[in-house]
Structure 1
Amino acid sequence: MLLAFRSAVALNRLLDVLPVFGGDPRIDRWFTQVPGSRFGLDALAALDRSGARVMDFEQARHERFDLILSTSPKGALTSLSGRVRALLPHGAGFNKAFGTEGSPSLPSGLDPAFLLSEGEPWADLHGLGHHEQLARLTEYCPPAAARAVVVGDPTLDRMRESTGRRETYRERLGVGDRTLLAVLTTHGGESLLARRHGLPLELALHLPVDDYRVALVVHPNEVSERGPHNLAEQLRPALQAGLLLPSSAQEWASVLVAADAVLTDHGSTALYAAALGRTVVLDGYDGGSELIPGSPMARLLAVAPRFTGVAALPDLLRDGPGPDPAEFAAAAFAHPGRALPLLRAELYRLLGLAPPRTPLTPELLPDPAPARSPAPALAVRAEVDGRRVRVERFPVATELPVHHRSARHGAAGLAEQRSAEVLWRHPGTGRWTAAGWAAHVLDELPGCRVAAALLSPERCLLVHRRHGPFALRVRPHRAAGRVRRIDPAAAVSAVYAWLVARPDSAGDLPLELDCTVGPVTVRLELGPAGPGEWDVEF
């Protein structure tokens, strides 16, 4: 068997299909890269890491294979010789037309210029994701449609099978109780990243870090064209502000499983998010020429709420858009959960072999790479209402008005520590007592107003330059069998804001405050510090 691919995205689709042949010693697997695409470099690197056997394309042209699988009809594919040749789903339907190749007005993937060789279909099997795609293939290329079968989408089946690992993915991404917003950008000049390069940074700087995490999902072709290192450098300010940048191989699918909502352009990745029931918000796509009217993606975007700015986004997501996005995704994906068995039956029938009797289940998606550690310095907004305090934290580069700055001592840069009114630290090497460390910090950094030793997730020593030491207890919120905590550094910021607003109440101890950080409200207990806080080795 030869798996022929032109780009990284085409290769990833082939890898989703490989379980069809799992455990069959009669199948010998070879890969080859079909020339003609400028998006293919990353694919070869991925194969090298996997240990797959790769055959040079020129050598492959002189071989005859029992089966050739591909997910793209373009390039020199027709020069390969195989007893059985199959074109499999490349993505979520046929939603775009490109004016630079083939027949400019026809949907990419349905163009007879690529599907036919000397007037005859090159493939013996066209595996399609939905009957709507079969109808359109019949319209544009009837000879190919005669060999088409609707099998569903193996990538979506893999994503659905992986929804049981959603919490694991969210833990790896450092999401917790926050809303995970995935920003989806396709490739080319009409993509979100090309039109609105500054949007990821804008989102990262203006959405509270305890309420949201933002992940940018970039089309593999765009990653290949820009280069992973170059792309990361172009996005460096946003990455420093906490933006997640998952790999374009399989992590994008894990991120969609973990996500709560997506902000998208006209790329069909949003259909996968819609099929999973995620909220879909459109970043205006006006005046573009690629999206095909009446396609499933066009119909989805016609009803999706419009992104009008970062300030309006929380209310937009909270209110919930009208129509169920999954209803529109249903026009792109048929036979849910059955793609691999249907494909196996068709391919083995064409090969004249009895298929393995082992059951077929999609391979679970891999864990995303763990998120980087939280930013060591933050800008803090605080609203004090009696004994209720609401805290919102942002990257230090935000342009929003803030109440104060908070930094992790020993982790933030010197300038960030000097400008922070609140400095905090987790337990270290035990070279200090908590009180000794706090005194050292207040002496070393005269701009600091509060030094806080975070002794545990629930217990802190908080030393205020004017009002003296306090013991702070951060009680978790317990309800319906769930335990929800806030970052104790955020609790320290809440106490500091309350002391600024109510300086004459600092002696009224003990007292309790209700502190809201992101979606969680907890009880803070502030009292006199004793040896149990002072003398802890820190």
Structure 2
Amino acid sequence: MCVSQGWVKTPGNPFADRWLTREGCRTVLVVVPHMTAGTRLADLLLLLSGDHRLQIVFTVPAMADAWHGVEQYVRGWGGVVLPWEQVVRMRFDLVLAASFQEVHRVSGPVLVSPHGVGMVKSRLSPWDGVQEGVRAVSGLGRELLVRDGRVVPAGVLLTHDAELERLREVCPEAVPTAVVVGDPCYDRLVASLPFRARYRHALGVLEGRTLVVVSSTWSRHSLLGGEPEFFARVAAELPADRYRVVTALHPNIWSLHGSWQVRSWLADYLDAGHALLPPEEGWRAAVVAADAVIGDHGSVTVYAAALGVPVVMSSASARDEASGSLTARLRGLSPRLDDARPVDLQVREAIAAHDLERYSWVAGRVTSRPGRAAALVRRRIYSLLRLEEPERRTPVSGPVPLPVPMAGWNDGVDEAC
């Protein structure tokens, strides 16, 4: 192997062999093109902890339209981050990805996981020329799975049996690579339910207060994109003496617009004493703790409904939903955010009228293997690694971390002046 100057010393680089403390490790590459993928891959990496036979390394693909801040985010994990030009000239024992972006350029068996609720998305394609009402197949399209006549991934993790049937329709040659494992994110949410009181305390929810989680995915049809004035209404209409409001925004919003701009847009909301969660983590704990969620067609709203949390859905996002999709069905059962009526009243009505039985089907659409994702995912990982699973560590879906809201827009300014 010809190694160019500037390569990072790491297992798999023969010029680093004499420096290794542990020899013979299988090398697992984690490909993180955007923060959304990274947050899902972090759950998978928990299943590999404690295995001395493995060396985990990370990379951010070099792309013409790269996302801002992703490398900084990945470096914050504390792992070895390899430059992309080095990655494409090495071979790995396993490649973990939660996106199909650039994985065809990496040498090694690729295992692809969803980075939202399942592989088949509810959102219509954002590309020009796609008409509203056409069902989206994002995540399982042939153009993603097949490159130069070959199926790229060695493994595709599906959350539901219906996705396997969808795969048979759009790309039958990829079916042998697929395995239905359920949804690791949903399983962690369920495992977090016993800690609801601790999450509420961490979010600053005082006794007697109602916790409302406001969630927006990305796109011009999202809650933030389609109804930006709503956040000013929250500041004015949900008083802090009765409500604790916590907002979770999709990582793509932060990456595309920047942290400063996001906080600037929400300055009135933050100055009113409401909270904003960082993009890396926190939304899951907030959903578990919530009394109600106001959201759009993003994954957060679906997960909230699957847990039995009352949801109110943005009206703007309806035009961006595929007909017959999971979020379209959820919208048909849920109250819609009405600009002409007080937000306080709409929240109280949603909580009072909520019927768990009416929403019980949502969890069944999120996963076909409830509670089993950790075991099934790890089994597939070690199968591709050609290693026996560690007997001493039983794979379980653990609770999510305590949430840490971001500092307010003007925090510290008064003291400095």
State the TM-score bracket (shorter-chain normalisation). Answer: 0.7 to 0.9
Q: How does 1:294-313 map to 2 (within 5 A)?
A: 294-308=324-338, 309=341, 310-313=343-346
Matched, 1:285 2:285: no
Counterpart AA for 2:104: T
Matched, 1:259 2:290: yes
Higher relative contact order (CA 8 A, sep 6+): 2
Counterpart AA for 1:81: S
Please give the alpha-carbon distance, in whole angstroms, between the structure 2 residues aligned to 1:155 and 1:102: 33
Deviation at 1:244, TM superposition (A): 1.1
Q: 1:37 to 1:152 in 2, by over 3 A?
A: farther
Q: Which sits farther off after the overlay, 174-183 or 102-111? A: 102-111
C-alpha distance after superposition, 1:368-410 (max 9, x if no partner) = 225869x99xxxxxxxxxxxxxxxxxxxxxxxxxxxxxxxxxx
Matched, 1:15 2:42: yes
Match for residue 161 of structure 1? 191
Counterpart AA for 1:15: A
Matched, 1:249 2:274: no
Q: 1:256 to 1:129 in 2, by over 3 A?
A: same
Match for residue 264 of structure 2? 233
Matched, 1:85 2:110: yes
The answer on whether the counterparts of 1:280 and 1:305 sit within 8 Å (CA) in structure 2 is yes
Please give the alpha-carbon distance, in whole angstroms, between the structure 2 residues aligned to 1:7 and 1:33: 8
From 174, 178, 203, give the equivalent of 2:234: 203
How many residue pairs get matched?
375
Match for residue 524 of structure 1? none
The answer on whether the counterparts of 2:226 and 2:317 sit within 8 Å (CA) in structure 1 is no
Please give the alpha-carbon distance, in whole angstroms, between the structure 2 residues aligned to 1:194 and 1:286: 9
Which residues of structure 1 form unaligned runs of 5+? 377-410, 413-538
Deviation at 1:249, TM superposition (A): 0.9
Match for residue 398 of structure 1? none
Q: 1:100 to 1:135 in 2, by over 3 A?
A: same
Matched, 1:43 2:70: yes
Please give the alpha-carbon distance, in whole angstroms, between the structure 1 residues aligned to 2:317 and 2:301: 17
From 387, 400, 403, give the equivalent of 1:365: 400
Please give the alpha-carbon distance, in whole angstroms, between the structure 1 residues aligned to 2:252 and 2:126: 17
Please give the alpha-carbon distance, in whole angstroms, between the structure 2 residues aligned to 1:324 and 1:240: 37
Deviation at 1:38, TM superposition (A): 4.7
From 360, 370, 373, give the equivalent of 1:339: 373
Q: 1:47 to 1:122 in 2, by over 3 A?
A: same
Q: Which sits farther off after the overlay, 220-229 or 89-98? A: 89-98
Matched, 1:171 2:201: yes
Please give the alpha-carbon distance, in whole angstroms, between the structure 1 residues aligned to 2:141 and 2:281: 28
Deviation at 1:238, TM superposition (A): 0.8
Please give the alpha-carbon distance, in whole angstroms, between the structure 2 residues aligned to 1:354 and 1:110: 30
The answer on whether the counterparts of 2:292 and 2:347 sit within 8 Å (CA) in structure 1 is no
Please give the alpha-carbon distance, in whole angstroms, between the structure 2 residues aligned to 1:320 and 1:164: 24
Match for residue 451 of structure 1? none
Match for residue 151 of structure 2? 121
Please give the alpha-carbon distance, in whole angstroms, between the structure 1 residues aligned to 2:130 and 2:87: 28
Please give the alpha-carbon distance, in whole angstroms, between the structure 1 residues aligned to 2:248 and 2:130: 29
C-alpha distance after superposition, 1:209-240 (max 9, x if no partner) = 22211111100001111111111011111100
Matched, 1:69 2:126: no
Please give the alpha-carbon distance, in whole angstroms, between the structure 1 residues aligned to 2:246 and 2:260: 17
Q: How does 1:73-472 map to 2 (within 5 A)?
A: 73-74=100-101, 76-82=102-108, 84-93=109-118, 94=120, 95-100=122-127, 106-176=136-206, 177-285=208-316, 288=319, 290-308=320-338, 309=341, 310-322=343-355, 324-357=358-391, 358-369=393-404
The answer on whether the counterparts of 1:19 and 1:362 sit within 8 Å (CA) in structure 2 is no
Percent sequence identity is 33
Match for residue 13 of structure 2? none
Structure of larger gyration radius? 1
Which residues of structure 2 form unaligned runs of 5+? 1-27
Please give the alpha-carbon distance, in whole angstroms, between the structure 1 residues aligned to 2:317 and 2:156: 33
Please give the alpha-carbon distance, in whole angstroms, between the structure 2 residues aligned to 1:154 and 1:101: 33
The answer on whether the counterparts of 1:159 and 1:253 sit within 8 Å (CA) in structure 2 is yes
Q: Please identify which structure carries the higher helix content.
A: 2
Q: Find the residue that maps to 2:81 and give its secondary structure.
A: coil
Q: 1:7 to 1:342 in 2, by over 3 A?
A: same
Q: What CA RMSD, in Å, does the superposition of the two structures yield over aligned residues?
A: 2.5
Please give the alpha-carbon distance, in whole angstroms, between the structure 2 residues aligned to 1:339 and 1:101: 36
Q: 1:287 to 1:302 in 2, by over 3 A?
A: closer
Counterpart AA for 2:404: A
Q: 1:103 to 1:24 in 2, by over 3 A?
A: farther
Stretches (4+) displaced over 6 A: 101-104
Counterpart AA for 2:216: T
Counterpart AA for 2:190: R
Please give the alpha-carbon distance, in whole angstroms, between the structure 1 residues aligned to 2:327 and 2:175: 22
TM value normalised by structure 2: 0.84
Please give the alpha-carbon distance, in whole angstroms, between the structure 2 residues aligned to 1:102 and 1:28: 44
Counterpart AA for 1:78: H
Q: How does 1:518-529 map to 2 (within 5 A)?
A: none
TM value normalised by structure 1: 0.66
Matched, 1:28 2:55: yes
Match for residue 16 of structure 2? none
Q: Find the residue that maps to 1:65 and give its secondary structure.
A: coil
Counterpart AA for 1:89: P
Deviation at 1:156, TM superposition (A): 1.5
Q: Find the residue that maps to 2:92 and give its secondary structure.
A: strand
